[in-house]
């Protein structure tokens, strides 16, 4: 019998640690898994660890010279600024290669388990390192686990893989790897790069000469809240996924779109993030017969946001959705208080309605979000055989 859910988890995942004061704190993973356990989300899930990926697997995406540079940095702390190692975003830390390679193997194993039918869904909240480039670290990401896993699926004969990224930052690394590959659709709904790293992901970025329409980017203005964020997702993502008809869906759920995130400028709630996770889960069942690999990613409000957002993701993947009105367990609250010296959120909701107008309700040219949506639809929908104006 096919297992419903595999969750990649081992305490060794906490070794992906850039050090004290860095936004990418591994404690966000520990807090997530603790909350999910206390809410009973993982009762029927298969929890599995992962060994570090081999150099051979890493080099299906990453340059051999880059992998060697990461290994050198790991052994003796040697920075390599030209390859993004030893920078403010990606400082060198002991065990860096092994910790990063473990994330890659976890996501790749999860993707192949989904492909083989051993599990229906798989989640790696420690994954989603979407900025890493073939030859360089970038944006807190050393190796690109999503890209390596997608390459592994393609190597096994999968003809179409869709990657949907709802992190506040553009999924530039995954897009770059598959820019000219018509077998992979990359979709990114993110804050515009006008004020935010990495500065890419414009609507006109639609794929290489051999893969027109394979990249879909929805750059949203700073300050976009639930209504605009959900409207943008609804106006673009379901249509392009249905048209592309992938065999496997890989999604990245960076929750730094939240209004409390210290690094970004969107104003999204946990409630809206939960709605998008539900929509992607539903689309996986509709389009890929349920073959769904969900990853973590960004998210730097490590007590107030990340554990709730990713616990909702895990619960949805487990077919055990958590009522947003559910109280955060007292034991988890006490742990957060002891660890961080302050009170965490009281419930699994921000109290937001997470309501929006669908695209067929009409286009408002005076609305900045609507202009962004229309720019994306105009740039890519005709290439995919879709109507710019209508669903």
- 330 found inside a domain: yes
154 and 184 Cβ atoms separated by less than 8 Å:
yes
- Kindly tell me if the per-residue pLDDT of 72 is higher than 80: yes
Q: What is the pLDDT of residue 1?
A: 61
Chain mean pLDDT for the chain: 97
Average pLDDT over residues 242-246: 98
283 lies in a domain?
yes
Tokens coding 334: 């006490």
Burial of 2: CB neighbours in 10 Å, binned 0-12, 13-18, 19+: exposed
Confidence of residue 119 (pLDDT cuts 50, 70, 90): very high
The whole-number average pLDDT for the span 282-301 is 98
Question: What is the distance of C-alpha 146 from the center of its chain?
Answer: 9
Number of domains in the chain: 1
The stretch 321-335 carries a mean pLDDT of 97
Structural domain includes residue 69:
yes
Sheet holding 292-295, edge to edge: 46-48, 3-8, 119-124, 292-295, 248-252, 161-165, 184-191, 215-220
Is 90 exceeded by the pLDDT of residue 2? no
| Distance (Å, whole) CA 140 – CA 67 | 16
Domain annotation covers residue 72: yes
**150 and 246 Cβ atoms separated by less than 8 Å:** no
Q: What share of the chain is helix, strand, coil (3-state, %, to 5)?
A: 40, 15, 45
Angle made by CA atoms 217, 223, 227, in degrees to the nearest 5: 75
- In a domain, residue 362? The reply is yes
Does residue 173 contact residue 295 with C-beta atoms inside 8 Å? no
pLDDT at 6: 98
What average pLDDT does range 356-369 have in this prediction? 96
Task: Report pLDDT digits (tens) over 204-219.
Answer: 999 999 999 999 999 9
Instruction: Output the CA angle 38-40-46, nearest 5 degrees.
Output: 110
Is pLDDT of 116 > 90?
yes
Mean pLDDT along residues 49-66: 98
Q: Which structure tokens are listed for 247?
A: 């065999």
Catalytic residue among 131, 190, 253, 258: 131
Is 62 one of the annotated active-site residues of the chain? no
CATH number of the domain where residue 92 is located: 3.40.800.20
> What is the percent of the chain where pLDDT is above 70?
100
The DSSP line for 137-162 is -BTTBSS-HHHHHHHHHHHTT---EE
Question: pLDDT for 121-171, tens place per residue?
Answer: 999 999 999 999 999 999 999 999 999 999 999 999 999 999 999 999 999
pLDDT at 306: 98
Confidence category of residue 390, pLDDT binned at 50, 70, 90: confident
pLDDT at position 255: 98
Q: What is the structure's pLDDT at 342?
A: 85
The answer to the question of residue 389 being in a domain is no
Q: Report the residue count for the chain.
A: 391
Whole-angstrom distance, CA of residue 339 vs CA of residue 334 = 8
Mean pLDDT of 264-287: 98
Q: 218 with 247: CB under 8 angstroms? A: no
Range of the domain at 289: 3-384
């Amino acid at each position: 019998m096919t297992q419903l859910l595999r969750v990649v988890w081992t305490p060794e995942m906490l070794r992906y640690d850039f050090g004290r004061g860095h936004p990418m704190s591994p404690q966000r993973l520990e807090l997530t898994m603790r909350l999910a356990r206390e809410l009973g989300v993982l009762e029927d899930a298969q929890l599995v660890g992962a060994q570090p990926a081999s150099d051979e697997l890493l080099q299906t995406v990453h340059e051999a010279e880059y992998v060697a540079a990461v290994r050198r940095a790991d052994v003796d702390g040697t920075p390599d600024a030209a390859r993004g190692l030893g920078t403010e975003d990606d400082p060198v830390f002991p065990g860096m290669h092994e910790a990063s390679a473990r994330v890659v193997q976890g996501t790749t194993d999860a993707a192949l388990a989904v492909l083989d039918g051993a599990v229906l869904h798989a989640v790696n909240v420690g994954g989603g390192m979407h900025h890493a480039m073939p030859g360089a670290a970038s944006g807190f990401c050393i190796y690109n686990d999503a890209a390596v896993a997608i390459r592994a699926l393609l190597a096994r004969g999968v003809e179409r893989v869709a990657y949907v990224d709802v992190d506040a930052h553009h999924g530039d690394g995954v897009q770059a790897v598959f820019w000219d590959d018509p077998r992979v659709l990359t979709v990114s709904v993110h804050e515009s790069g006008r004020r935010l790293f990495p500065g890419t992901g414009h609507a006109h970025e639609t794929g290489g000469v051999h893969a027109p329409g394979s990249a879909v980017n929805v750059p949203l203005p700073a300050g976009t809240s639930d209504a605009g964020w959900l409207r943008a997702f609804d106006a673009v993502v379901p249509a392009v996924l249905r048209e592309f008809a992938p065999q496997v869906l890989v999604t990245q759920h960076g929750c730094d779109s939240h209004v409390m995130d210290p690094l970004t400028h969107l104003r999204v709630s946990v409630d809206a993030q939960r709605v998008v996770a539900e929509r992607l889960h539903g689309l996986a069942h509709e389009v890929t017969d349920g073959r769904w690999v969900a990853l973590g990613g960004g998210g730097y409000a490590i007590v107030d946001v990340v554990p709730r957002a990713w616990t909702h993701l895990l619960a949805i993947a487990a077919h055990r959705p958590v009522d947003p009105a559910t109280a955060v367990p007292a034991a988890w609250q006490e742990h957060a208080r002891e660890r961080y010296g302050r009170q965490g959120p009281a419930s699994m909701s921000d109290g937001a309605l997470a309501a929006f107008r669908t695209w067929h309700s009409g286009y408002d040219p005076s609305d900045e979000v609507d202009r962004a949506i229309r720019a994306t639809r105009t740039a890519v929908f005709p290439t995919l055989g879709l109507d710019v104006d209508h669903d």
